[in-house]
C-alpha cells in the first residue's frame, strides 16, 4: 500500500491506494498513529483509490478516532468507491465518520467543526 500525503488550508490530506486489508492496514495504522502523536487536528482521507477495506482497516480508522479524541482531532473520508462505502454503511461507521463525496466537502466539514 502506498499513502500519498499533502496539506491544504492547514488540513492534512492522506491518499491511501490499493486494498486496506490485514496485510496493508499496518501501513495505514503507522501513518495515522504518527498523525495522532503529532496531534494533527484535522485529517481528510481520500479513498478514491481504495478498492477494498476489511475489518482490520476499519479498526485502524476507529483507533485513530479514539487516539485523537483527547485533543479534538477530526477525520473526514471522501471519494469512497461504492463497495467500500457499503462496508462503512453495513457496520454503521458512516455514523461515526464524516463521509463526503468530494475533497471540497470534506475540507469544508473539517473547517466548520
pLDDT digits over 29-62, tens only?
Answer: 999 999 999 999 999 999 999 999 999 999 999 9
Q: What angle do CA 101, 57, 27 make, to 5 degrees?
A: 105
**% of the chain at pLDDT higher than 90:** 96
**% of the chain at pLDDT higher than 70:** 100
Q: What angle do CA 53, 85, 6 make, to 5 degrees?
A: 70
How far apart are alpha carbons 39 and 76 in whole angstroms?
16
Instruction: Give the pLDDT confidence score for residue 24 in this predicted structure.
Output: 95
Range of the domain at 62: 2-112
Closest residue by Cα to residue 48 from 8, 85, 23, 12: 85
The number of domains in the chain is: 1
pTM: 0.94
- Alpha helices for the chain (secondary structure H): 25-37, 55-68, 82-90, 103-112
1 pLDDT band, cuts 50/70/90, is: confident
Amino acid at each position: 500500500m502506498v499513502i500519498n500525503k499533502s496539506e491544504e488550508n492547514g488540513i492534512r490530506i492522506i491518499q491511501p491506494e490499493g486494498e486496506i486489508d490485514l496485510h496493508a492496514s499496518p501501513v495505514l495504522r503507522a501513518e495515522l498513529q504518527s498523525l495522532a502523536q503529532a496531534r494533527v487536528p484535522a485529517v481528510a482521507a481520500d479513498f478514491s483509490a481504495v478498492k477494498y477495506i476489511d475489518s482490520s482497516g476499519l479498526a485502524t480508522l476507529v483507533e485513530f478516532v479514539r487516539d485523537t479524541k483527547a485533543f479534538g482531532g477530526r477525520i473526514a473520508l471522501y471519494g469512497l468507491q461504492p463497495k467500500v462505502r457499503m462496508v462503512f454503511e453495513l457496520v454503521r461507521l458512516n455514523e461515526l465518520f464524516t463521509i463526503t463525496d468530494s475533497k471540497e466537502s470534506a475540507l469544508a466539514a473539517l473547517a466548520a467543526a
